[in-house]
Amino acid sequence: MIAVPIVLIGAYFAARETSTFAVRTIDVRGGTPALRKQVRTALAPVVGTSLLALNRGAIERRVDALPAVVSTSYDRAFPHTLRVTVVPEEPVAVLHRGKETWLVSARGRTIARIPSHTDMALPRIWVPTAAPVAAGAFLQPEDGGTVARVLALAAGFPARFTTATLSHGELTLRLRLGIELRLGEPVDVRLKLAVARRALRVLPPGSTYLDVAVPQRPVAGANPQVSSSA
């Protein structure tokens, strides 16, 4: 009665150490073709390893370390395929630091350095040249991190943004319509954006800014000195 389990266990460990189920193909799903190529490159060292001997933590660490990946999971597709599914970072802005330009994710993470004048549909964030920026690192709140997260919350806003800034604790988003959206402190952002959506429909003619820092009292005007209720 004990012999069968012992034989099965022995067969399992034998299969771990042979090429019977060795990884020959890495099938990556999710993300762009470029990201899938990066994942296959990161996992190249596991080719030849038995599917039974794979270390889940090691695989996830290799892939999750890629700047464009949020998380990853994998399945064994016997006899020779490792199937990997990635959740990619979502770009929300282009960050400028001096002459450098970086793609930034919804989580405030720098995905990659990119050529100037690319991804022009994304809003711009400017930070000082001394701000710490590195591929795969999360931006400090005052150096673009907070702004990136606000832009993520603004996904689906009825008007596109060109720039986003956090200066002296005050958030400002500039719309392609030529209107400056002032959010004040980075709190109650969802509420402020909801109020701004409605207020944009009834802005007085000639308005150049909309201030929803106090969402209960949105204010619009052509300059800071002359304003009218929105």
Above pLDDT 70, what percent of the chain?
89
Mean pLDDT of 205-219: 95
Q: How far is CA 151 from the centre of its chain?
A: 11
Q: Do 123 and 114 form a contact (C-beta atoms < 8 A)?
A: no
Provide the pLDDT for residue 31: 95
Asked if residue 215 has pLDDT above 70, the reply is yes
Above pLDDT 90, what percent of the chain?
83
C-alpha–C-alpha distance, residues 117 and 191, integer Å: 33
Residue 118 pLDDT level (bands cut at 50, 70, 90): confident
Residue 230 pLDDT level (bands cut at 50, 70, 90): very low
Asked if residue 15 has pLDDT above 50, the reply is no
Peptide bond into 186 cis (omega under 30): no
Asked if residue 226 has pLDDT above 50, the reply is no
Average pLDDT, the chain: 90
Provide the pLDDT for residue 5: 55
Q: At CA 227, angle to CA 226 and CA 230, rounded to 5?
A: 165
CA distances from 42 to 22, 63, 90, 102, 103 (A): 17, 7, 20, 22, 21
136: number of Cβ within 10 Å: 15
C-alpha–C-alpha distance, residues 208 and 210, integer Å: 7
Helix (H) or strand (E) holding 63: helix 56-64
Mean pLDDT of 74-88: 96
Mean pLDDT of 58-83: 95
Which residue type occupies 99?
K
Asked if residue 6 has pLDDT above 60, the reply is no
pLDDT in tens, 48-70: 999 999 999 999 999 999 999 99
C-alpha–C-alpha distance, residues 38 and 152, integer Å: 25
Provide the pLDDT for residue 45: 96
Residue 27 pLDDT level (bands cut at 50, 70, 90): very high
Mean pLDDT of 160-175: 96
Which residue type occupies 165?
T
Asked if residue 12 has pLDDT above 50, the reply is no
Q: What is the pTM of this model?
A: 0.84
C-alpha–C-alpha distance, residues 15 and 5, integer Å: 15
